Amino acid sequence: MLRLDDLKQTRVYQDALEEGRQEGKLEVVPLLLKMGLTVEQIAEQLQLDLAAVQQVAEGSEAVTEEG
Protein backbone atom coordinates (compact mmCIF):
# COMPACT_ATOMS: atom_id res chain seq x y z
CA MET A 1 0.00 0.00 0.00
CA LEU A 2 1.28 3.47 -0.87
CA ARG A 3 2.12 5.82 1.94
CA LEU A 4 1.37 9.51 1.51
CA ASP A 5 5.04 10.31 0.92
CA ASP A 6 5.20 7.63 -1.77
CA LEU A 7 2.01 8.91 -3.38
CA LYS A 8 3.38 12.45 -3.54
CA GLN A 9 6.31 11.18 -5.58
CA THR A 10 4.15 9.63 -8.30
CA ARG A 11 3.79 11.25 -11.70
CA VAL A 12 0.00 11.24 -11.44
CA TYR A 13 0.10 13.16 -8.15
CA GLN A 14 2.63 15.66 -9.48
CA ASP A 15 0.59 16.24 -12.65
CA ALA A 16 -2.63 16.73 -10.68
CA LEU A 17 -0.92 19.14 -8.30
CA GLU A 18 0.46 21.23 -11.15
CA GLU A 19 -2.91 21.25 -12.91
CA GLY A 20 -4.52 22.55 -9.72
CA ARG A 21 -1.94 25.29 -9.43
CA GLN A 22 -2.54 26.37 -13.03
CA GLU A 23 -6.31 26.42 -12.52
CA GLY A 24 -5.89 28.52 -9.40
CA LYS A 25 -3.79 31.05 -11.27
CA LEU A 26 -6.26 31.22 -14.14
CA GLU A 27 -9.13 31.88 -11.72
CA VAL A 28 -7.60 35.21 -10.68
CA VAL A 29 -7.15 36.47 -14.25
CA PRO A 30 -10.54 38.27 -14.42
CA LEU A 31 -9.83 40.03 -11.12
CA LEU A 32 -6.41 41.17 -12.31
CA LEU A 33 -7.92 42.43 -15.56
CA LYS A 34 -10.43 44.48 -13.55
CA MET A 35 -7.49 45.96 -11.64
CA GLY A 36 -6.11 47.21 -14.94
CA LEU A 37 -3.33 44.73 -15.65
CA THR A 38 -2.81 43.73 -19.26
CA VAL A 39 -3.01 40.15 -20.47
CA GLU A 40 0.73 40.24 -21.06
CA GLN A 41 1.47 41.48 -17.54
CA ILE A 42 -0.72 38.79 -16.02
CA ALA A 43 0.87 36.03 -18.06
CA GLU A 44 4.36 37.22 -17.14
CA GLN A 45 3.72 37.67 -13.43
CA LEU A 46 1.81 34.41 -12.97
CA GLN A 47 4.17 32.53 -15.30
CA LEU A 48 1.30 31.37 -17.49
CA ASP A 49 1.04 30.79 -21.21
CA LEU A 50 -0.14 33.99 -22.92
CA ALA A 51 -2.72 32.09 -24.99
CA ALA A 52 -4.28 30.60 -21.85
CA VAL A 53 -4.59 34.02 -20.23
CA GLN A 54 -6.07 35.47 -23.42
CA GLN A 55 -8.64 32.68 -23.53
CA VAL A 56 -9.73 33.38 -19.95
CA ALA A 57 -9.80 37.11 -20.66
CA GLU A 58 -12.06 36.60 -23.68
CA GLY A 59 -14.35 34.40 -21.62
CA SER A 60 -14.60 36.97 -18.86
CA GLU A 61 -15.42 39.69 -21.40
CA ALA A 62 -18.31 37.61 -22.72
CA VAL A 63 -19.70 37.19 -19.21
CA THR A 64 -19.35 40.91 -18.53
CA GLU A 65 -21.17 41.81 -21.74
CA GLU A 66 -24.03 39.43 -20.94
CA GLY A 67 -24.42 40.54 -17.34
Using CB atoms within 10 A of its CB, is residue 42 exposed (0-12), middle (13-18) or buried (19+)? buried
Asked whether the predicted pLDDT for residue 47 surpasses 70, the reply is yes
pLDDT for 65: 62
Residue with the bigger pLDDT between 62 and 19: it is 19
pTM, full prediction:
0.75
Question: What is the average pLDDT score of the chain?
Answer: 92
Each residue of 29-46: pLDDT tens digit? Answer: 999 999 999 999 999 999
Question: Secondary structure of 23-36 in the HEC alphabet?
Answer: HHHHHCHHHHHHCC
How many percent of the chain have pLDDT more than 90? 78
